Structure 1
Amino acid sequence: MDLNGKKEVDFTVPLSPSTTATVKILVPAIRSQGLNLLPWASTYVLAGLLHRLDIQPPPPSDDSEVPILELGAGIGLVGLVASMLWNQRAVLTDLADIVPGLTANIEANAVLLKQHQGSASAGALDWNEPDRLVLDGGRVLEAGSSKANVIIAADTIYDEDHPKMLVGTISRWLARGPQARLVITYPLRVAYLEQIRELWELLEGVGLVAVGEGKEEAEEIGGASWDDEKLCEWSVWKWKDSEVNMEG
């Protein structure tokens, strides 16, 4: 998104057909893996889509560390919305140099999160070392003992190595319960269609099945244009045990 030099942007997203929330996003002037850390079309699409999906996370246990896990969170918009929508804690993760920006966006929306019975924290999760999540503050969570009932990821396929890395991380952190869900969204960039096909094959290969899918086009916000492909594809996944129907 072209922000015309602005350092923050407000996103108004639906939490229900009749309720919206305006999330303030601070945009850090950093780059990660060669990309500017900006709002991308698929992030906005997924944030606006979540309330339409028939996802009902189970109540987290008292010792649950990551009820909702966002991978490749970037600016953290989707994780913040998920926390407010499902009234559960979300852990927003990315590479270590991005975590301070995620923490800043959590703090900027602290009042909003509280109003909607949500909470969030940030942490570093490197897909090259997917078993270890380091929370902001230094506490370490291990995939062997901490599981997420919902994993969300937007625009996480922009390198030929990403499908294998992403699926390896998902398979370690997604809880095995019947209500566990993965929600993933990506822009339909021509250059990465092969990687998207590989992603689906790998997800199916670890025992996940798609229970809903569709396409959405990102709307312009306040006259600002997206610096990316606006048409995005989304899908919802569960472990192969019973089929359910999803509406999008």
Structure 2
Amino acid sequence: MSLLNESAELVTSSDESGLLHVHDLPHLYQKPTAAALLDTLELLSFVPSSFSIPEDASRVRVAESGVPGYLTSVISSTLSWIEDESTKESVWSAASARLSERSGRNAMPAMTRSFNIEKDVLIQLHEPTLTEDNLGLKTWTSSLLLSQRLHEVRRLIPGNIDRVLELGAGTGLVGISAACVWKTHVTLTDLPEIIPNLQKNLDLNGEVVREHNGNVVSRALDWSDETDAPQSDQVKFMVILAADPIYSADHPRMLVDTVRRWIRFQSDARFIVELPLRDRYDQERQELRERLLESGFMLVVEGTDVGYDDWQGRDGRPAEVTCWWSVWKPDVP
């Protein structure tokens, strides 16, 4: 009997959270079939997160306690009772993949995620394997929350939105969403090393952007390069967006200076930002607020959102993340 058939019976032995325990899985001393092991390893796979609590109640979930040890035992076993060598390799490979998925996002392979922004806006994003702690290659919770807020904040932007700039676009979720939701032209920017994957995602979502009468382009923009600036107000932007833009003590200053260079400094322009409330960055968030006020911006509205990230809690569900969002405008008559 395969684990997929057995799992219906095993659900009855789960705890109040609905989770199975590692002792419910087929163990090596029982000499389970290769099919049962592969079914088990599939059960233990991480589905690429879209930063929401999984809605598939039928999916059997296993509590994480003891799972890494279980996977290690499979990898280190000779699987002597399985005769076919290629089948053994498949089991070892699957167990190694499951262990890598539990070693942090940096150890996970390339993936493509799907994000529902609105009823008819589904965005696909490619994320390469992360190397050298390159944070711009990952989609962050704040990007999804800001994308889903775009429809609501539209009422806070007077007049037409003809040109939008995204700073630190990363995988491009916010900028692509803005192009679709606001039906406008969006320029997505990031550091040069991020642009190839960003452009790949723009190409991947080209059809959905066109269907919603939007337009997207990418370009490199280094916040530290003060010479890279528009030459006139005619090429500046009505709205600037930024999601999770601060993970360095230098970023509040660099971000505000960049916004000041690129925004049309008039009363109907808007700077919209969302970032997670990370404990280590309280000072940087406060500095961002102070620098915006000192640079001639006025707070229009602010609030908090709750979302979920890749990292899992003890119950095996995505970890909860609280984010702060705010809308700013130039303080001019």
TM-score, normalization by structure 1: 0.82
- For residues 171-201 of structure 1, the C-alpha deviation after alignment (integer angstroms, 9 at most, x for no partner) is 0001122221000000000000100000000
Q: Which runs of 5+ in 1 are unaligned?
A: 62-66, 133-141, 243-248
* 3-state SS in 1 of match to 2:286: helix
Q: How is 1:145-224 mapped onto 2 (pairs within 5 angstroms)?
A: 145=232, 146-219=235-308
Deviation at 1:164, TM superposition (A): 0.4
Given the superposition, is the C-alpha separation of residues 20 and 71 from structure 1 closer, same or farther in structure 2, using an over 3 Å criterion?
same
Q: How is 1:117-136 mapped onto 2 (pairs within 5 angstroms)?
A: 117-132=213-228
Q: What corresponds to 2:177 in structure 1?
A: 81
Question: Larger relative CO (CA 8 A, sep 6+): 1 or 2?
Answer: 1
1:51 correspondence with 2:155: no
In 2, Cα distance between equivalents of 1:36 and 1:69 = 17
Query: Structure 2: which amino acid aligns with 1:183?
Result: I
RMSD: 2.4
In 1, Cα distance between equivalents of 2:222 and 2:267 = 27
Q: What corresponds to 2:137 in structure 1?
A: 37
In 1, Cα distance between equivalents of 2:158 and 2:203 = 25
TM-score, normalization by structure 2: 0.62
1:97 correspondence with 2:193: yes
1:13 correspondence with 2:117: yes
Given the superposition, is the C-alpha separation of residues 109 and 196 from structure 1 closer, same or farther in structure 2, using an over 3 Å criterion?
same
Q: What corresponds to 1:241 in structure 2?
A: 332
Given the superposition, is the C-alpha separation of residues 218 and 130 from structure 1 closer, same or farther in structure 2, using an over 3 Å criterion?
farther
Q: What corresponds to 1:230 in structure 2?
A: 321
Query: Structure 1: which amino acid aligns with 2:230?
Result: A
- For residues 139-170 of structure 1, the C-alpha deviation after alignment (integer angstroms, 9 at most, x for no partner) is xxx42322010000000111101000000100
Q: What corresponds to 1:25 in structure 2?
A: 125
Contact 2:277/2:323 (8 A) holds in 1 = yes
Deviation at 1:55, TM superposition (A): 3.5
Given the superposition, is the C-alpha separation of residues 206 and 226 from structure 1 closer, same or farther in structure 2, using an over 3 Å criterion?
farther
In 2, Cα distance between equivalents of 1:183 and 1:206 = 15
Contact 2:309/2:321 (8 A) holds in 1 = no
Q: What corresponds to 1:114 in structure 2?
A: 210
In 1, Cα distance between equivalents of 2:255 and 2:284 = 11
Deviation at 1:113, TM superposition (A): 0.5
In 2, Cα distance between equivalents of 1:2 and 1:165 = 36
> In percent, how many aligned pairs have the same letter?
34
Query: Structure 2: which amino acid aligns with 1:56?
Result: I
Q: What corresponds to 1:72 in structure 2?
A: 168
Matched residue count = 222
Greater helix fraction, Structure 1 or Structure 2: 2
Deviation at 1:131, TM superposition (A): 4.1
- For residues 51-77 of structure 1, the C-alpha deviation after alignment (integer angstroms, 9 at most, x for no partner) is 11124364467xxxxx10000010000
Contact 1:208/1:239 (8 A) holds in 2 = yes
Contact 2:240/2:270 (8 A) holds in 1 = yes
Q: For the pair shown, which has the larger CA radius of gyration, 1 or 2?
A: 2
Q: Which runs of 5+ in 2 are unaligned?
A: 1-45, 49-100, 102-108
Deviation at 1:225, TM superposition (A): 5.9
